[in-house]
Every structure is written in C-alpha cells, then in structure tokens.
Amino acid sequence: MSPLPPLTIIPAHLQTVADYEQQSSQHLAESTWHYLQGGAMHELSVQENQIQFQDIRLIPRHLNDFSQSNTRVNLFGMDYPHPIFLAPIGHQALFHSQAEQATALAAELMQSNFVLSTLSNTHMEALNKENPYKWFQLYWQANREKSLALIQLAEQHNYKAIVITIDAPHTGIRDRERKIFFQLPNEMPHPHASVDLEIGNLAADEHPIFQGLMKVAPKWEDIEWLMGNTKLPVILKGVLHPADAKKAVECGISGLIVSNHGGRVLDTTIPPLIALQKIRAVVPVSYPLLLDGGIRRGSDIFKAIALGASAVLIGRPYIYGLATAGALGVAHVLKILKEEFEVTMALMGTTTLQEINHDFINQ
Ligand SMILES: Cc1cc2nc3c(=O)[nH]c(=O)nc-3n(C[C@H](O)[C@H](O)[C@H](O)COP(=O)(O)O)c2cc1C
C-alpha cells in the first residue's frame, strides 16, 4: 500500500506520542518506517530505552503553592520555557517534503531547541537566522579543517551551540536495514557533508574498520583543538561512561548528552537513565547533562530530571509528528509532551525544575 499524504489538520484521535507513532506509519514507505524504528542488532537497547522509564516509580508530594510555578530552564546562558529539545535526526526529507525546515519552524514556534544534523537535507543557512532555538550537530569530518569549517558556518548563521556526536564513529550493525536492503535515495541532497567519509585505499593486510573509519575518527586532542577555535559552547553527545564524562569536564566541554543514539549504534548498552545517575555523581553539581532515548511521556521527562538531567531531547517522537503533519505535527507532539510534563509536575507537587530531585523517586 502506498503511503498516505501528510495531514493538514490534526484529527481529534491524535492525543499521545503513541497515537502519532501509529498514525505516522501510514504516511511513510515501509522501508523508511523500518529505518526510523530500527536499531542495532537485536534492538534490545531500542526496547530498553522505553522500559527504563516504565520501571521507575514516583513518590508524589501534595499541598504546595503553585502560583509562581513554571517549567523554565537556563542552559549555556539562554532561558528556555521548557526542557524538551529536538535531537539531531539526519535525512528528514525521508519523512516529509519540507524536511528540517518544518522541524525548525515548529521548534521556533514552541521555543524548543532544534539540533540540526550534519546529515540534514537542508543547509544550515536555510533556517531562519533570527531564530535563537537552534544548535548544530557535528559528525567529525575526517580532518580538523573540514570539521572546523562546518562549525564556523554554524557560528555565522547564528547557531547557539555545537553538539559533537561521538558514539557513532562507525554505523551500527542494523539487521533490520540490511534485511530490506535499505538505502538512502541517490538524489537526496546532503549540503554539509557526504554520507560516506573518504578513507582512502587500504593495504591488503590492514583491518577495514581499525585502519578504515576508525583511523579518521576524532580523538580527545581533536575535540580540544576544535574547542580552542570556537566561542560556541561545545556539547558531547553519546557519553555513557563516567570516566569519559570526567574527562570531558576536565577538557572544558560545556555539557553532555547522555545517550545511546536511540539504540541505533551499539546494542545492549547501559540504559542512558542509569548512565545519567553514574555520571551525575562525578560531575560538578550544576554541570549541564541532557538525556535522550526512549522519552515518550511527560512523566518520562520528570523522571529524567529527577535522576539528574538538566533537560531532555526527543528523537523518533517528533519524526512521528513530522511524517504525520509536517511542522504542525512536530509542534503538536511538543505541545502534548509539554502538557503531560506540566501535569506530572503539578501532581508530583513540584513547582519548578529545581525542586525535582531524587527524593521523588522510589529506588
Ligand atoms: C532516523 C534517525 C536518525 C538519526 N540521525 C542522527 C544524526 O544524524 N545525528 C545524531 O547525533 N543522532 C542521530 N540520531 C539519534 C538521535 O539524535 C537520538 O539520540 C535518538 O533518536 C533518541 O532516541 P529516541 O528516538 O528514542 O527519542 C538519529 C536517530 C534516528 C531515529
């Protein structure tokens, strides 16, 4: 069956992220659906990312005064009205003809930070320069000069931070994609970088991975060099080990995204929510830690903040909105999660993000 065209109005039955998930499957080609939903190997981490929230129990408090309450957060010198950001997702033309333009528009409207991927189909200069709710995500470009050139372009076009994704120097082994021979369309534009990095020819006795992609992967020295060449905050995405978190703090990295890439790179990683707690224990008290992976409800956002997150990112949920109804769908998904989060805060008796802490979790 060919996919349905995107909707132009939101029908009343779309009330949760799960509703959007179901609806969006009707608007996407089957191979695109598997690309979006899938992950590495057995996809245990994909599943566990959602289970990690379902396993946690809340302990509410009551009778607080809510007259001054809000969901505001301040990160890297900027105020955000809520802590729900949009994670970098490449190739968004797969999901809707307006691709990243639609996502950025919805993010701006909802004052949610959008992280534009290196592998976007939309050039970073095509997004509204005045919109302050945008960061750029860098996939290391095999050498320092090419990587820095992208960062400088982001600076010129008013992106407010650089997110360097460090957990995917090689693509994950995605059985699902391999089985259906998933390939990106040949004609798909990638204005910032080619999808495949150039690694040159290998000698017969060289390892195709170690002397291939891993040879051009970034190292700590490269990240430090980049930081020395930009004034923007640099955030590392994909950190799970507390020792890496400690090292990042020592190097002067501005913040971390605790993430397993939505379970798409390495299967059976530590759940990001557990990693978050281990990392929170070794970094300075107010050090920015963002969390992504598996967030589907406002109560998940509450749990992430209670366990040490400063803010969260969503990936697949906003793509469900994009595929269903373009910018309107993305904005609606954000609105749903924001409202669910506010209701959770109210029912938990917490009036600001600063009040949300471990005491509200039964562990
Ligand atoms: C289709 C797809 C494409 C992605 N592309 C990127 C990317 O270009 N760069 C990146 O850092 N992460 C990428 N990610 C990972 C997301 O940024 C994020 O970590 C993940 O989706 C969070 O999990 P969730 O989908 O359960 O919310 C991608 C994820 C998906 C599902």
Closest CA to 5 of 73, 92, 96, 141: 96
- Pick from 86, 89, 124 the residue to mutate for probing ligand 1's pocket: most ligand atoms within 8 Å of its CB: 89
Mean pLDDT of 133-140: 98
Q: Which residues are annotated as a binding site for FMN?
A: 88-90, 117, 137, 165, 237, 259, 292-296, 315-316
Per-residue pLDDT, 206 = 85
**CATH code, 148:** 3.20.20.70
- Pick from 119, 167, 264, 290 the residue to mutate for probing ligand 1's pocket: most ligand atoms within 8 Å of its CB: 264
Per-residue pLDDT, 216 = 83
The dihedral of CA 250, 255, 258, 262: what is its sign? negative
Q: Which amino acid, 274?
A: I
- Indicate which residue's Cα is closest to atom 8 of ligand 1: 90
- Indicate which residue's Cα is closest to atom 21 of ligand 1: 315
- 85 within 8 A of 63, measured Cβ to Cβ: no
Tell me whether residue 324 is in a domain: yes
Which residues pair with residue 56 across a beta bridge? none
Query: Which listed residue (34, 261, 332, 358) is catalytic?
Result: 261
- Band of the pLDDT at 363, cuts 50, 70, 90? confident
The single-letter DSSP state of residue 6 is P
Tell me whether residue 9 is in a domain: no
Over residues 275-324, the pLDDT tens digits come to 999 999 999 999 999 999 999 999 999 999 999 999 999 999 999 999 99
Q: Which residues are annotated as a binding site for glyoxylate?
A: 35, 139, 174, 261, 264
What does pTM read for this prediction? 0.97
User: Ligand 1: which atom is nearest the Cα of residue 90?
Assistant: 8
Per-residue pLDDT, 77 = 96
CA of 146 to the centre of ligand 1 (A): 23
Backbone angles phi, psi at 73, to 5 degrees: -145, 145
CA distance 115 to 238: 14
Tell me whether residue 279 is in a domain: yes
Burial class (CB within 10 angstroms; exposed 0-12, middle 13-18, buried 19+) of 210: exposed
CA distance 135 to 251: 21
- Band of the pLDDT at 201, cuts 50, 70, 90? confident
CA of 315 to the centre of ligand 1 (A): 5
- Indicate which residue's Cα is closest to atom 14 of ligand 1: 89
| Residue 31 neighbours by CB under 8 Å, 6+ apart | 180, 182
If one counts every other C-beta atom within 10 angstroms of the C-beta of residue 340, the result is: 19
CA of 265 to the centre of ligand 1 (A): 10
More confident residue, 75 or 210: 75
* E strands, the chain, in order: 57-58, 73-75, 78-80, 84-86, 114-116, 134-138, 162-165, 234-239, 255-258, 289-292, 311-314, 361-362
Mean pLDDT of 17-23: 98
Tell me whether residue 295 is in a domain: yes
CA of 350 to the centre of ligand 1 (A): 30
Per-residue pLDDT, 110 = 98
Tell me whether residue 217 is in a domain: yes
**Within 13 Å and on the Cβ side, how many CA atoms surround 262?**
21
Q: Which residues are annotated as a binding site?
A: 35, 88-90, 117, 137, 139, 165, 174, 237, 259, 261, 264, 292-296, 315-316
Tell me whether residue 246 is in a domain: yes
Over residues 37-96, the pLDDT tens digits come to 999 999 999 999 999 999 999 999 999 999 999 999 999 999 999 999 999 999 999 999
Tell me whether residue 196 is in a domain: no
Over residues 239-273, the pLDDT tens digits come to 999 999 999 999 999 999 999 999 999 999 999 99
Instruction: Identify the domain containing residue 302 by its residue range.
Output: 17-55+79-182+208-362
CA of 203 to the centre of ligand 1 (A): 34
CA distance 336 to 69: 19
- Determine the 3-state secondary structure of 2 from DSSP: coil
The dihedral of CA 304, 307, 311, 312: what is its sign? negative
User: Ligand 1: which atom is nearest the Cα of residue 87?
Assistant: 17
Tell me whether residue 330 is in a domain: yes
- 43 within 8 A of 267, measured Cβ to Cβ: yes
CA of 261 to the centre of ligand 1 (A): 5
Q: Within the chain, what is the greatest distance between any pair of CA atoms? A: 71
CA distance 196 to 73: 37
Closest CA to 136 of 174, 90, 171, 93: 90
- Indicate which residue's Cα is closest to atom 28 of ligand 1: 89
Got the DSSP string for 309-322? Answer: -SEEEESHHHHHHH
Task: Report the pocket of ligand 1 as residue ranges, CB < 6 Å.
Answer: 36, 49, 87-90, 117, 119, 137, 165, 237, 259, 261-262, 264, 292-295, 314-316
Instruction: Report the number of distinct structural domains present in the chain.
Output: 1
CA distance 297 to 293: 12
Taking 3-state DSSP, the helix, strand and coil percentages for the chain, each rounded to the nearest 5, stand at 40, 10, 50
Checking DSSP bridges between strand 78-80 and strand 73-75, what pairing results, if any?
antiparallel
Catalytic residue list contains 261: yes
